[in-house]
Amino acid sequence: MRARFLALVALVLVASPARSEPLDPGRFDPSWNGLEFGVTRERVLAFLQERIRQRYEARIRETRDVAVQDRLKRARDAEVAGVGSDFVAFTGQQTGWDISVMRGEFAHGTGESMLHIQEEKVHYYFFFINDVFYKFIRTGVDRPMAGLVEDLSRVYGPPAQVEHQDAEARSGVRRAQWEQGLLGLSVEDRTRLYQCLLVRWVLRAADDAVHAEWEKARTTGPGVNPIVHEAAEPPASPDAANPVDEILGRTPPQDQTSPPPPKKPGKKKRKR
């Protein structure tokens, strides 16, 4: 898949060289100006490191206190060094992401990986397929859903599609979607399960290719958790423990086919 995917991304990017995308994340948050889709993970890491330096540079310039400047420089260097440490490749191993707010955003065994960073109460996720950056997600609770949709609409125009919490009354936005240029944008209300709102930018052609791979692998979203596969397999022996029981701490039921333990002989009555 790697060669075919890279060729697809290259074709998409060449077809529209270096033009401003209508749904560029930098239009919503200027600190993301310059974040490019279709580049390698190394390029994304370099962008994130430079973004941190610029953020601290402004704070360093604001003070003349040498001690404060030194403290800020140490914090800057530590944050730059830590970028990329929270990275996972989805190769079938157990991860906490399978049951997190990112459930449904990746599949195991298709060349996908993810980089996560946190800034105060906002989380950012960078998704790669065969080391090519194609999806950017922001989660947080810094504003209500109605306010977030309004803010996005102010920047990107009205959404192309809207799903409501109450379809008949058309009240409460559950999901809104924009599609312009090479990118797609959507926002979802996930407060019921995960207490956050999720904003997703994707390179549309690449996202379509990834979903096609999910279909080929007969997976949806994160795919079938490997523990489910393991639990579905017949046990290697009658005494083998069920992996789901092990995780949940349940005591497996006794084998009903095994013979019951022999009864102890009763005590003989003494003759009088």
Where residue 15 falls among pLDDT bands split at 50, 70, 90?
very low
145 located within any domain: yes
Q: Does some domain include residue 184?
A: yes
What stretches of the chain adopt beta strand conformation (E)? 87-89, 112-119, 122-129, 132-140, 161-166, 171-180, 183-189, 197-203
Looking at per-residue pLDDT, the higher value among 272 and 138 belongs to 138
The fraction of the chain above a pLDDT of 70, given in percent, is 73
Least confident of 33-47, 142-156, 242-256: 242-256
Is the confidence at residue 163, as pLDDT, over 70?
Answer: yes
The whole-angstrom separation of Cα 170 and Cα 109 is 39
The domain total for the chain is: 1
Q: Is residue 169 part of a domain?
A: yes
In a domain, 267, yes or no: no
d(CA 117, CA 86): 7
Give mean pLDDT, residues 49-58.
94
Q: Which domain holds residue 153?
A: 2-40+93-228
Per-residue pLDDT, 260: 56
Q: What mean pLDDT is predicted for residues 169-178?
A: 90
For 208, residues 6+ apart whose C-beta sits below 8 A from its C-beta are none
pLDDT at 151 over 70: yes
Within a domain: 30: yes
Is 11 within 8 Å of 38 (Cβ atoms)?
no
Q: Determine the Cα angle at 143 with ends 104 and 157, to 5°.
A: 80
When mean pLDDT is compared across 32-46, 94-108, 112-126, 232-246, the lowest value belongs to 232-246
Strand partners, 180: 183
Would 245 be classed as within a structural domain?
A: no
Residues 83, 48: contact at Cβ < 8 Å?
yes
Pick from 66-80, 168-182, 214-228: least confident: 214-228
Distance CA 175, CA 179 (A): 14
Average pLDDT, the chain: 81
Higher pLDDT, 205 or 234: 205
225 vs 117, higher pLDDT:
117
Contact 126, 115 (CB under 8 A): yes
Pairing of strands 122-129, 132-140: antiparallel
Domain assignment present for 52: no
* 272 found inside a domain: no
Distance between CA 207 and CA 8 in Å, rounded? 11
The more confidently predicted of residues 9 and 223 is 9
> How high is the pLDDT of residue 224?
42
> For residue 20, what pLDDT band results from cuts at 50, 70 and 90?
confident
Instruction: For residue 28, give both structure tokens.
Output: 């919503």
Q: Tell how far CA 269 is from the center of its chain.
A: 73
Provide the pLDDT confidence category of residue 169 given band limits of 50, 70 and 90. confident
Residue 149: pLDDT over 50: yes
pLDDT at 234 over 70: no
pLDDT at 252 over 80: no
- CA dihedral (120, 121, 122, 124) in degrees, to 10, reads 70
Pair of tokens at residue 199: 């904003």
